[in-house]
C-alpha cells in the first residue's frame, strides 16, 4: 500500500493520508474476498487492483486539477465502486451516487460503504436511463463519471441528462477514446454537451492506452432524453 500512496503522489499529485491508505487496504481485501465468491471484476490480483482499479480511479483528479473537486458526483455503471468509491475515500465531504444495475455489484458497493463508514453515499440498483428521468437526479450533479460502460455516443445519453448546466461529464476510456470523441460530436451537441479536452493517462505496469474524455454541459438536455432503457445502446444518437 505504500507503493499506491507513492504512485498517487507521483502521477496525480494526490496526497493520501494514513487513514485513506488504510481504507484502500480494507477495500482491496474485501474485493479479493468477494471476488472469490462472486464474479465482481475480471481483475483479481493485488497489483492489478492497485493499478487498474485504485490508481485508474484516482486519475480522474486530473480532470479537475485547476478547479474544485466534485461536490456532487454520480458514477454510472460503477461495478464494484470504480471510480466513485475510490474518489469518495479521497473526498469524504463529496455527495456520491452510485448507479449499478447488477444486484450483486450494487450489494458489494453498499457493503463497502458500511465497512468504510462512508457518509453521503447513495447506491441505486437501476439503469442510467431511468435515473436520468427522475427529478431528484436529472441535472442535479456537477460531475457525472463512467468507466468503460459504453461507447461515447451511448454514454453521453446516460451521463449528460444527470449533469447540471455548467457541470461536467467525464468518461474514462481506453485506446478508442479519441476516435469515440470524434464520433460522439453529434450526440454531445443534441444532449447539451461540448467536448472540452482529452487527457492521456499513464498507469504503472499498464500497457493499454488510457484517456479521460472531458465534456462541458453548456445547455439543458431536451426532455426527450434519455430515451427508454436499452434504446440508447440499440440506436445511438
Domain locations in the chain as residue ranges: 65-234
pLDDT at residue number 36: 82
Walk along the chain (237 residues) and give the pLDDT tens digit of each residue. 888 999 999 999 999 999 999 999 999 999 999 988 887 777 777 787 888 899 999 999 999 988 899 999 999 999 999 999 999 999 999 999 999 999 999 999 999 999 999 999 999 999 999 999 999 999 999 999 999 788 999 999 999 999 999 999 999 999 999 999 999 999 999 999 999 999 999 998 888 899 999 999 999 999 999 999 999 999 999
How far apart (Å, rounded) are the C-alpha atoms in residues 43 and 152? 23
Q: How far apart, in whole angstroms, are the C-alpha atoms of residue 186 and residue 208? A: 27
Q: CB of 213 within 8 A of CB of 147?
A: no
The torsion of the CA quartet 80, 68, 71, 189, rounded to 10 degrees, works out to -80
State the pLDDT at residue 146: 97
The angle subtended at Cα 105 by Cα 121 and Cα 153, nearest 5°, is 85
pTM exceeding the 0.75 threshold for the entire prediction: yes
In whole angstroms, what is the distance from residue 209 CA to residue 50 CA? 17
For residue 212, the model assigns a pLDDT of 97
Q: Which CATH number fits domain 65-234: 3.40.50.150, 3.90.470.20, 3.90.1140.10, 3.90.1180.10?
A: 3.40.50.150
Q: What is the pLDDT of residue 94?
A: 98
147, 172 contact by CB (below 8 A): yes
Q: At 119, which helix (H) or strand (E)?
A: none
Per DSSP, which regions of 9-162 are E strands?
72-76, 95-99, 121-124, 141-147
Q: Are 80 and 44 spatial neighbours (Cβ–Cβ below 8 Å)?
A: no
Amino acid at each position: 500500500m505504500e507503493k499506491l500512496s507513492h504512485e498517487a503522489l507521483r502521477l496525480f499529485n494526490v496526497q493520501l493520508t494514513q487513514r485513506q491508505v488504510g481504507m484502500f487496504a480494507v477495500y482491496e481485501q474485501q474485493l479479493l474476498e468477494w471476488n472469490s465468491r462472486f464474479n465482481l471484476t475480471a481483475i483479481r490480483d493485488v497489483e492489478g487492483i492497485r493499478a487498474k482499479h485504485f490508481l485508474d480511479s484516482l486519475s480522474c483528479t486530473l480532470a479537475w486539477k485547476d478547479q474544485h473537486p466534485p461536490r456532487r458526483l454520480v458514477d454510472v455503471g460503477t461495478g464494484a465502486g470504480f471510480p466513485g468509491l475510490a474518489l469518495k475515500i479521497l473526498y469524504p465531504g463529496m455527495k456520491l451516487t452510485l448507479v449499478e444495475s447488477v444486484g450483486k455489484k450494487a450489494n458489494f458497493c453498499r457493503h463497502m460503504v458500511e465497512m468504510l463508514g462512508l457518509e453521503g453515499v447513495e447506491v441505486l440498483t437501476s439503469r442510467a436511463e431511468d435515473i436520468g428521468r427522475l427529478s431528484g437526479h436529472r441535472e442535479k450533479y456537477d460531475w457525472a463519471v463512467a468507466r468503460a460502460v459504453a461507447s461515447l455516443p451511448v454514454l453521453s445519453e446516460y451521463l449528460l441528462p444527470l449533469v447540471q448546466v455548467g457541470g461536467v461529464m467525464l468518461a474514462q476510456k481506453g485506446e478508442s477514446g479519441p476516435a469515440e470523441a470524434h464520433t460522439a460530436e453529434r450526440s454531445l451537441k443534441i444532449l447539451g454537451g461540448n467536448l472540452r479536452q482529452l487527457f492521456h493517462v499513464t498507469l504503472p505496469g499498464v500497457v493499454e492506452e488510457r484517456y479521460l474524455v472531458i465534456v462541458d454541459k453548456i445547455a439543458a438536455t431536451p426532455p426527450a432524453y434519455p430515451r427508454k432503457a436499452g434504446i440508447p445502446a440499440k440506436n445511438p444518437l
